[in-house]
């Protein structure tokens, strides 16, 4: 039997707190004096040894062979179509009357449709022909992956090549008669 150092109230062996004043009693706990952090060192050491043994087993299991395959990593860029030695046919380019965007030039245009490239270029060619038959000027197809100002992965069916946004906006009304969702877009290579 011991007593509380603060109030002198009697306490039994193993009692952690004084029942009268609530003070933590010295020497409480099953083994006498307690150190609140005594177990962490042992747990850390055991965890370290287990991790070290696991790492050694992993190295032994994978590092014994010198016959290693080369790791190849692909980096950046977009897939491009290989250069062809033949001239594309009109059906591949969209046919007669289909306009190509001037190489290396930035400007403004009216986007009639943005079609995912996964659906194929044929859908874009068909839309281009429809727009040409409707009388829209300078109708063409852009590969959006080649232009910094456009979201990659789409065929953009466009009409007109303009030097300013104001010019493109003034030509928007006839395009909207053909496609209600036609919008002015900046094209920057």
Return the pLDDT at 109: 94
Per-residue pLDDT tens for 5-25?
Answer: 999 999 988 889 999 999 998
Q: How far is CA 120 from CA 34, 58, 116, 123, in A?
A: 75, 47, 8, 6
The arithmetic mean of pLDDT across residues 142-157, rounded, is 91
* 10 compared with 30, residue with greater pLDDT: 10
Q: Pseudo-torsion of CA 77, 80, 85, 88, nearest 10°?
A: -140
Q: Is residue 137 scored above 70 in pLDDT?
A: yes
Q: Whole-model pTM? A: 0.49
Exposed (0-12), middle (13-18) or buried (19+): which is 141, by Cβ within 10 Å?
buried
Q: In what order do the strands lie in the sheet with 183-187?
A: 139-143, 154-162, 107-116, 183-187
Q: CA 6, 11, 16, 19: dihedral to nearest 10 degrees?
A: -70
Q: Which domains does the chain have, with CATH numbers?
A: 1-35 (no CATH), 95-187 (3.30.70)
Two structure tokens written together for 135: 């009388």
């Amino acid at each position: 039997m011991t007593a509380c150092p603060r109030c002198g109230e009697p306490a039994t062996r193993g009692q952690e707190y004084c029942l009268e004043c609530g003070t933590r009693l010295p020497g409480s706990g099953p083994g006498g004096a307690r150190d609140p952090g005594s177990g962490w060192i042992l747990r850390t050491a055991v965890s370290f040894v287990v991790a070290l043994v696991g790492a050694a087993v992993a190295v032994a299991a994978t590092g014994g062979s010198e016959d290693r395959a080369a790791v190849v990593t692909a980096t950046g860029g977009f897939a491009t179509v290989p250069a062809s030695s033949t001239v594309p046919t009109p059906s591949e380019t969209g046919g007669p009357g289909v306009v190509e965007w001037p190489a290396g030039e930035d400007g403004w245009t009216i986007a009639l449709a943005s079609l995912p490239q996964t659906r194929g270029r044929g859908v874009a060619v068909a839309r281009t022909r429809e727009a040409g038959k409707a009388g829209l000027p300078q109708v063409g197809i852009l590969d959006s992956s080649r232009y910094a100002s456009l979201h990659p992965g789409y065929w953009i069916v466009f009409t007109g090549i303009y030097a300013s946004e104001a010019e493109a906006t003034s030509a928007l009304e006839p395009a909207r008669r053909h496609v209600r969702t036609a919008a002015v877009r900046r094209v920057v290579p």
